[in-house]
Structure formats: structure tokens, C-alpha cells
Amino acid sequence: MKLYQYTAHALHEKLLKKEVSAREIAEAVFGRIDAVEGEVRAYITQTREQALDQAQKVDEKIRRGEKISPLAGLPGAIKDNICTKGVKTTCGSKILANFIPPYDATVMVKLAANDAVIAGKTNMDEFAMGSSTENSAFFPSRNPWDTAAVPGGSSGGSAAAVAAGEAIWALGSDTGGSIRQPAAYCGVVGLKPTYGLVSRFGLVAYASSLDQIGPITRDVTDCALVLSVIAGHDAHDSTSIRTEIPDYTKALVPDVKGLKIGLPKEYFVAGLDSAVEQAVRRAVDQFRAMGAEIVEVSMPHTEYALSVYYLIAPAEASSNLARYDGVGYGYRGEGNDIVSMYKRTRSEGFGAEVKRRIMLGTYALSSGYYDAYYNKALKVRTLVKRDFDRAFEQVDVLITPTAPTPAFKAGEKVNDPLAMYLQDIFTIPVNLAGVPAISLPCGFAGNMPIGLQLIGKPLGEATILRAAYAFEQNNDYHKRLAPLGEV
């Protein structure tokens, strides 16, 4: 195996045994980027020089006999809506194409404190609005398993980078499935934490009541490692939860005996690809064989979740994106007066999907329609959350498909927004309820990966990581490598 193919925990062991240096790992990852980035296009910005310098510092710590963090010296990729001091943070948008933040997001501060190496900023759907990374203002990313297919979105660049060996681990953000869906499409592991577990300070807002930062990794152990680093209360984020953060790797035991796993019947509906359904039902049978109790549950308001999301998220986006007016920072269009300057800036700076969602959100919030649309959506959101509350009175974990299909071909849904929105039908309810969920590979449709979603109670990350780890230890899906370039 090449160094870029190893998991973070395996590389950490190699560093401790002095079998390899952090600089050698970084050089291997950048060598891989040089070899395949032309096909994958996972990165908007690479930070090669800073990464090699940081790797060198980790090597010096090891030489001095100092203790190092499990992420020390291991190159990761950061979604380009997470602020990085002194490095461009574009959100995949023309309007922020040259924006360089003067501060770090809290997750970046935590990563720096753990001596993580940052390889660069990854491509994404503009302002995280999309399911395929085709809405980037710069270029689309591609799926390492089939470069004619999309990697999912909006964290498609992060998922593709990990799957292609262009990063050992990555961070994404998840508003309606934007970590889990691309993880499923790219055959990697992605976790959306409980809302408030990971600070949103420095995450450029799309929909503030839904957004969460989370890890994308090769396997479940790496996911637990990264989550342990980035989770925790932050005084800069008013929605941050005060709770003790455990070492999530201690939850990784290959045992699900006594665990009650719920199977929501509303998630197995028309439109679900037959290969996806078969793979998920095989996974359910495996959990049963491992000693878990499988319980069918009903979540009757699931069918309304997509409609609720596409009222609440655009409404919040309409408010959050009002700040991009060409005055304070970012792109500025020319105009004869301030009104014409505003119009030129926003019409030229935003892409079609962002404009679509701003208009939808502004309409839902407008006088005469607020109660009919936005306020009603908030009430139905409560009903969706109550479905989860009731289900978790009976079970410990819910199991569902992550996405209704494997990755689709590039360009296939770009002119059909509704078909694109339906790709998030199984992930959106989780964000509305604020609960944690993880996606991990559970099979293949032809040569394309299929994702399995495990949903937990609020702050139930340890439980879903345990279940995911137990499943992973009985399968080898996470060990298969995307057939891209020389391996």
C-alpha cells in the first residue's frame, strides 16, 4: 500500500514507531494530488508549503520524544466554507472568490492545537447549496469511482479527496445531508454530529438552524478520532452545547448485542433504487445476526420533511446571504448608484441555484406568506422531530439508506432541481430534528458505492459509532479503493 491509502490511525501508529515521517506522508499525499487532481478536481486551493512546514514541526516533536495527537502530521482537507486565517475561503462562489479571512474557525483552532496538517480547501456547491458539486462557481468535482459521475454535494470535494487518496481525512458541513450523501456516493464514512456539538463559529452560514461541521474519513475509527478533536463547547457560538466530550474511540467495540435498531418503514418507498434497498436490507440482516434486535417503527411525518426543508433552509439563506452586497467585502459589481451596485453585485456574484433559493426564501418570509409557508414549516418541523423522539423511546438507533440511488452521472440532473433535491430525501429529516447520523459503505451497485445511514439520539454519537464500527468489522467495503490512476 502507498502511504496515501492508509487510514489516519494506521499512519499515527507508523509515526509513533518511527517507520515513517510526517513529511513523507505529506509528500505522498501531494504526490497523489499531482497524479489525479486533474481528473477529480477536489481542491479549490492547495496549501502545500504550509502543510510541509507543519509536517516538519511534527517530525521535530517526535524526534524530541514529545507526545503527539492522533491527528498530528496527517494531511486533511477542509471544505471551503470553513474560515481559515490567511487562506482563501470562497464558499465555491464568485462573490467570495478572493476573500481571505482574518481569523480561523473554531474547528481550525482545535486542529492546529492537535498539529494537524492542512492540505487545502475543497470544492463545494456554491454556499453549500446543491447535491452534486456541480453548482461550484469554479468547476465541478468528479467521483473517484467513476469520473463521469458526481461525488455528491455539497461537500463533494471533501468526500472525493478522501476517496481518491488526496487527503487522509476531511471536514465537511451538513445542512441537509451534505456530509453523508457525498460520503455514500464516494464510498467513505461521513458523520453529521448533534446540532451544537461542534462549533459553527467560522462556518460561513447557509441555514443557521441546520448547519453542522463534521468529519469525512476512510473508516469509522478515523471518524471517531476527528470528532474527538473538533467537538466541544465554544463561547463564540451561542448554539454550542455544554457537554463533556468523551474519547469517541472508546465506543468502538465490535458488539451490538442488546442494541435495539429501528427500521422506519417510511424510508423504504417508491423511488428507492433496488440495489440500494437490497444492500441496506442485507446490512439489517447482518445486524440481526450479530445480536441486535430489529424493530419496525413508523415516522409518519417523514413525507413532509423535504417540503419543510425547502422552506426553512432558503428562508434562512435569504437572511444570511443578504450581507453579500458589495460594500464590506467580496465581489463588487459596478453601478451608477448604490442600488444599481447592489443589483449588479448580487446578480453577477451569485450562481443560478443560490439565486433560486434566495428568491424562494424571500418569498416564504414576505408579508402575507410568512404564516402560510415559513411559520407552518416550523410547526411541521416540530412534528418531524417528535417522530424521532417517539422512535427513540423504542430503539437506540435507526437504520436507513443514506441516498435513494448510487452516484448519478454528471449533468444528469443539473436542469431538474426537484430531481436533485430528492437525493437528500433520507438525510434531511436528521437535520430538521438536530440528531446525529453517520453514513458508511454497505455495498456496491456495479462499481459504485452504496451508503448505509445510522441515526442516533441527541448526543448519541458514541452509540452510532459503536454500531457502525461493529458493521464495518464484519465487512471489507471500507477497504476497497477507488480505481483511479495508479494504486
State which amino acid sits at residue 404.
P
Residue keyed to cell 440495489: 275
Contact 431, 177 (CB under 8 A): yes
Q: Bridge partners of 170?
A: 77, 216
The set of cell numbers assigned to 245 is: 466530550
Rounded-to-integer distance, Cα 289 and Cα 436, Å:
25
Q: Is 57 an annotated catalytic residue?
A: no
- The number of residues in the chain equals 487
State which amino acid sits at residue 295.
V
Q: Is 79 an annotated catalytic residue?
A: yes
Q: Is 154 an annotated catalytic residue?
A: yes
Rounded-to-integer distance, Cα 340 and Cα 258, Å:
64
From 186, 185, 193, select the one nearest 162 (Cα to Cα): 186
**Options 21, 141, 158, 178, the catalytic residue:** 178
**To 5 degrees, how large is the angle CA 373–CA 379–CA 383?**
130
Rounded-to-integer distance, Cα 203 and Cα 82, Å:
5
Rounded-to-integer distance, Cα 400 and Cα 409, Å:
23
**Options 69, 79, 173, 240, the catalytic residue:** 79
Distances (CA, A) of 404 to 66, 181, 279, 298: 47, 10, 12, 19
Phi, psi (rounded to 5 degrees) for 408: -95, 170
Query: Residues with Cβ < 8 Å from 53, sequence gap 6 or more?
Result: none
**Options 21, 136, 154, 240, the catalytic residue:** 154
Q: Does residue 192 sit in helix, strand or coil? A: strand
Rounded-to-integer distance, Cα 363 and Cα 340, Å:
21
**Residues with catalytic annotation?**
79, 154, 178
